[in-house]
Chains A and B, each alone.
Chain A
């Protein structure tokens, strides 16, 4: 995609993707196969205590519910087996620091893969970072980002989670976040992400990625699916609603998160339309925000 000039006037006139230069024809071409647009939100009020400490037993239960709901399995073990077979090599891709993915969640995913899907420990690796050789060696990727706003990309959760795979993260900052979707189409990456699992236990809705406790809150949730754009779209809705609640009026993300709609319309990675997303809500309902 070229670096066409986008101005704030474009947003007053048209949609984000159109501002970024998308053509509906190319979008239709990219949508070669039907998109999965099922997104699951599982929340438990008691998963965090007032000191933000994670209750691992509750988190395990949430994780089991999430995997069953995403895969449609009757048991968590069936769900994990649908995500990864014993012969697979699974790369976990968490947010490593600055509002990182809770280590408890990473541990539970790894132990679930071992105990419920039967993968040996040596076939589960941390694939986050610039080393594409590790990514290339994996047959399955599990995206494990933490939910946060980002001052350079608007939202810095699912699509941005693979930014280090590009080897040049600065090339995707500011309005260039519109191109984040292309990283998901790298040959080492494309088609390998079998689960997008967002840590929304204690998200950040402004000033990310540096932690700012004024804008962090206990959402106490996991948000998951197999369509990265649909999951990101739900995340964006939650962040947007939370920001409105804080300010009592619309408080748009800036720069605008062009990457979400562009991932759909330009790169065909999934759906960014809430109308096309089937949302399953499990557990705690207070301030669900979506």
Chain B
């Protein structure tokens, strides 16, 4: 490749999560400045306005930004998001799985690094790192440079598996990619549920969104069974106010199919737009079975 050399960028990332990624001084004909910009949770809104909520919706640690420049060419932007756990970096990539899958042959199937490329933008999950490497104008040279920067980032991160919750239920949803989230803002960006946080989501709760045909499934994992139970009650009161006796395990006909909420230990399984009760029950039983066999129940 076209690196002159690798050097650690001077920066002050306050994290024990991962060592600072080393980026090349030059890739193709682009070169980077000596210093990187470091963004924290306190400064992320200054950097990207409301987009910062997306990253704070996961367990965000810090962000390293480097812009490569070259005379006569548009810049390359490298954003390396250091998340507290690999699950969070996975979640960011899972929100949009469209794109050309890039395989560096470094990890087994369904493990990190996992990268998707499209129109000049590479999105990458590599252990606790989520990265965006973007060419402001896509050319063959820019594509090579973007992919090479991605490869360099991925090579410095440990391999990781998807979140355990995803691993449990992924085999059930072979036709639909699963999305992993922790915040109600992020949930609303993939499946608009409610203006308020009626499922008591926060960074301590894991969520998986899937759909099967017209039916949408939310699987939520709370830190305590008591909290899951309380969240279920609040959801039923808030979402089904016209069904006064709504309870966990019941199926309620709404504007577009049935809605149901099942509570199982630290888990909630919610179905929306379910076409019929029998298939809905079958789905819930299958999901519960997967959680049981995975020793999650």
Q: Is B254 an interface residue (CB 8 A)?
A: yes
Q: Report which of B138, B238, B256 forms a contact with A213, defined as CB distance below 8 A.
A: B138
Please give me the residue from chain A that is nearest to B74 by CB atom.
A51
Residues of A in contact (CB 8 Å), total 37
Jot down 20 A-B pairs with beta carbons below 8 A, ordered by A.
A4-B195, A5-B195, A5-B198, A8-B193, A8-B194, A9-B254, A51-B74, A98-B49, A150-B50, A152-B53, A169-B49, A169-B50, A175-B194, A175-B195, A208-B51, A212-B119, A213-B119, A213-B135, A213-B136, A254-B190
Please give me the residue from chain B that is nearest to A256 by CB atom.
B192
Q: Is A118 an interface residue (CB 8 A)?
A: no
Known contacts A153-B50, A173-B53, A209-B48; A254 and B255 CB within 8 A of each other? no
Q: Could you tell me the distance in whole angstroms from the C-beta of A225 to the nearest C-beta in chain B?
A: 25
Q: Is A176 an interface residue (CB 8 A)?
A: yes
Proximity bits, B77-105, A CB within 8 Å = 1, else 0: 00000000000000000001011000000
Does A210 contact B118, Cβ atoms closer than 8 Å? no
Does B194 contact A7, Cβ atoms closer than 8 Å? yes
Rounded to whole angstroms, the CA-CA distance of A13 and B190 in the bound complex is 20
Rounded to whole angstroms, the CA-CA distance of A153 and B54 in the bound complex is 12
Rounded to whole angstroms, the CA-CA distance of A274 and B194 in the bound complex is 27
Q: Could you tell me the distance in whole angstroms from the C-beta of A145 to the nearest C-beta in chain B?
A: 13
Dominant SS among interface residues on chain B: mixed
Q: How many A-B residue pairs have CB under 8 A?
A: 104
Set of chain B residues within 8 Å of A212, measured between Cβ atoms: 119, 121
Set of chain B residues within 8 Å of A61, measured between Cβ atoms: none
Set of chain A residues within 8 Å of B120, measured between Cβ atoms: 213
Rounded to whole angstroms, the CA-CA distance of A156 and B138 in the bound complex is 25
Residues in A178-195 with C-beta less than 8 Å from chain B: none
Q: How large is the interface on B (under 10, 10 to 19, 20 to 34, 35 or more residues)?
A: 35 or more
Set of chain B residues within 8 Å of A152, measured between Cβ atoms: 50-51, 53, 185, 189
Does A210 contact B51, Cβ atoms closer than 8 Å? yes
Q: Is A286 an interface residue (CB 8 A)?
A: no
Q: Is A255 an interface residue (CB 8 A)?
A: yes
Rounded to whole angstroms, the CA-CA distance of A173 and B99 in the bound complex is 28
Please give me the residue from chain B that is nearest to A254 by CB atom.
B192
Q: Is B134 an interface residue (CB 8 A)?
A: yes
Does A151 contact B54, Cβ atoms closer than 8 Å? yes
Q: Could you tell me the distance in whole angstroms from the C-beta of A8 to the nearest C-beta in chain B?
A: 5
Set of chain A residues within 8 Å of B256, measured between Cβ atoms: 12
Please give me the residue from chain A that is nearest to B98 by CB atom.
A214
Proximity bits, A251-276, B CB within 8 Å = 1, else 0: 00011100000000000000000000
Proximity bits, B248-262, A CB within 8 Å = 1, else 0: 000000111000000
Q: Could you tell me the distance in whole angstroms from the C-beta of B259 to the nearest C-beta in chain A?
A: 9
Q: Could you tell me the distance in whole angstroms from the C-beta of A14 to the nearest C-beta in chain B?
A: 10
Q: Is A52 an interface residue (CB 8 A)?
A: yes
Q: Is A73 an interface residue (CB 8 A)?
A: no
Q: Is A281 an interface residue (CB 8 A)?
A: no
Q: Is A174 an interface residue (CB 8 A)?
A: yes
Q: Is B137 an interface residue (CB 8 A)?
A: yes
Known contacts A9-B255, A12-B255; A209 and B194 CB within 8 A of each other? no
Does A255 contact B189, Cβ atoms closer than 8 Å? yes
Proximity bits, B231-248, A CB within 8 Å = 1, else 0: 000000011000000000
Please give me the residue from chain A that is nearest to B272 by CB atom.
A8
Q: Is B167 an interface residue (CB 8 A)?
A: no
Set of chain A residues within 8 Å of B53, measured between Cβ atoms: 152, 170, 173
Set of chain B residues within 8 Å of A254, measured between Cβ atoms: 188-192
Please give me the residue from chain A that is nearest to B194 by CB atom.
A7
Q: Is B196 an interface residue (CB 8 A)?
A: yes
Rounded to whole angstroms, the CA-CA distance of A156 and B136 in the bound complex is 21
What 3 pairs across the A-B complex have the smallest Cβ distances?
A175-B195, A12-B255, A213-B119
Does A214 contact B118, Cβ atoms closer than 8 Å? yes
Set of chain A residues within 8 Å of B190, measured between Cβ atoms: 254
Rounded to whole angstroms, the CA-CA distance of A5 and B199 in the bound complex is 13
Rounded to whole angstroms, the CA-CA distance of A129 and B195 in the bound complex is 27
Does B121 contact A213, Cβ atoms closer than 8 Å? yes
Does B195 contact A210, Cβ atoms closer than 8 Å? no
Proximity bits, B39-83, A CB within 8 Å = 1, else 0: 000000100111101100000000000000000001000000000
Rounded to whole angstroms, the CA-CA distance of A236 and B135 in the bound complex is 27
Rounded to whole angstroms, the CA-CA distance of A184 and B255 in the bound complex is 35
Rounded to whole angstroms, the CA-CA distance of A150 and B121 in the bound complex is 18
Set of chain A residues within 8 Å of B45, measured between Cβ atoms: 169-170
Q: Is A133 an interface residue (CB 8 A)?
A: no
Set of chain B residues within 8 Å of A170, measured between Cβ atoms: 45, 50, 53
Rounded to whole angstroms, the CA-CA distance of A11 and B191 in the bound complex is 13
Q: Could you tell me the distance in whole angstroms from the C-beta of B292 to the nearest C-beta in chain A?
A: 30
Proximity bits, B193-216, A CB within 8 Å = 1, else 0: 111101000000000000000000
Residues in A1-43 with C-beta less than 8 Å from chain B: 3-9, 11-13
